[in-house]
Structure 1
Amino acid sequence: MSLKTRRRGAELEDAILGAAWDVLVEHGYAGFTYEAVAARAGTSRPVLYRRWPQREDLLLAALGKGWLDQPIDLPDTGNLRDDALGLLRRINAGRARMMMTLTVQLMDYFRETGTNFRELRDTLRGQGRPIGFEILIARAVERGELPDVPRSPRVVSLPMDLLRHEMLMTLRPVPDEVMVEIVDDVWLPRL
């Protein structure tokens, strides 16, 4: 007869957040309940309520664990064009399917809270934390590839915005030639 070891601390939290992520991806926000997460994690609802008193608290924690705790490494090839294409390719390969799934799965959340993907991203990322393309541009400035001038946040984030738009419009990963066009024909000339 084996005794089941009781999970505590980080081990329990990881199990709960992993279960919460799975429930969200599989059942969407409508199926994202304390009951479903507790059952999936093999724990009780009071355990969840103690850590995350509101459903949104649990959702944000699950998104943070499932999405932001798996960062995409920034390329550092020595030139901005290759870095930008490398980052788009990594995002496309690693996150395209999940971005499309979460966009659909979170629609009820956005309706319920009156928020949007940008607000959710900013909440999860935290204000002031640089995005990947800000870092790539800063490196290019340090190398002397670009002048050190102010740039609109809209221009800086343009490659990611266009990639995301393409993913949402086609519901497929973005072809490489489209990513090259985004960088070469749209973004680099604006910088």
Structure 2
Amino acid sequence: MIIAKSVKTRRRGATLEQAIIEVAWDRLVEHGYTSLTMEMVARAAHTSRSVLARRWNSKASLVLAAIKYQLSKHPPQVPDQGDVRAELLEYLQRLGSFAPIFTTINALLSNEMFRKAFATPEEVRRALSAGRTDYLSVILDRAVARNEIDPDKLTPPIKTLVRDLLRQHVMMHRAAPPEQLLVAWVDSIFLPLVRRTSP
């Protein structure tokens, strides 16, 4: 009688990297940035510290990769609905589902050790947005093409206003904003600022 032995497949490449960054996220949430170590992640991912070091040169870069992966799981991509208001509200609702991730990012920004690698929120924002589609810009570009909003009114502070309001709310309340607040932001603040003026 021949007994078949199970063969353990060695993870490589993208599969291994995904496993590592998922473990890194779990340990970050569980232990916090200060207590997190590369060795801890390596053990939990069943790999070696040297494997991590070849991919990420610091704990901070590994943590940002883990956050970026979490954000990529459910991108706030909104299909063309032919109406900028409907698209903005759906975008904000989808973005609100990231509230726990944004709360973790805010905690990192208050961590002295993390700030040695990324000193400002803007540095973190640039690192996380690199290579990612700006879905808010996609919505606004469609609205401009439909003549719903005036492109000349989309100055940099106005263009990101609704997203900035959501992030500020999450930072202050550690929770996604309620639907009625999203409606107020879109209907009472943003759209009046960017609508085309009637002739």
Task: State the superposition RMSD in angstroms.
Answer: 2.1
The residue that corresponds to 1:84 in the other structure is 88
SS of the residue aligned with 1:97? helix
Q: How does 1:86-165 map to 2 (within 5 A)?
A: 86-92=90-96, 94-108=97-111, 109-113=113-117, 115-126=119-130, 131-149=134-152, 151-165=154-168
The code of the aligned residue for 2:180 comes to E
Q: Which runs of 5+ in 2 are unaligned?
A: 195-199
Cα distance, 1:150 vs. partner? 5.6
Indicate how the Cα distance of structure 1 residues 157 and 148 shifts in structure 2: closer, same or farther if over 3 A, else same. closer
Q: 1:42 to 1:175 in 2, by over 3 A?
A: same
Q: Which runs of 4+ in 1 moved over 6 A?
A: none
TM-score by length of 2: 0.84
Matched letter for residue 38 of structure 2: Y
TM-score, with length taken from structure 1: 0.87
On the 8 A contact 1:72/1:90 being kept in 2, the answer is yes
Asked whether the 8 Å contact 1:74–1:87 carries over to 2, the reply is: yes
Matched, 1:29 2:33: yes
Q: 2:56 aligns with which of 52, 56, 59?
A: 52
Q: Which runs of 5+ in 1 are unaligned?
A: none
Q: Distance in 1 between matches of 2:121 and 2:52?
A: 25
* C-alpha separation in 2, matches of 1:75 and 1:97: 24
Q: Which amino acid aligns with 1:182?
A: W
CA contact (8 A) 1:27 1:105 kept: no
Identity among equivalent positions (%) equals: 39
Number of aligned positions between the proteins: 189
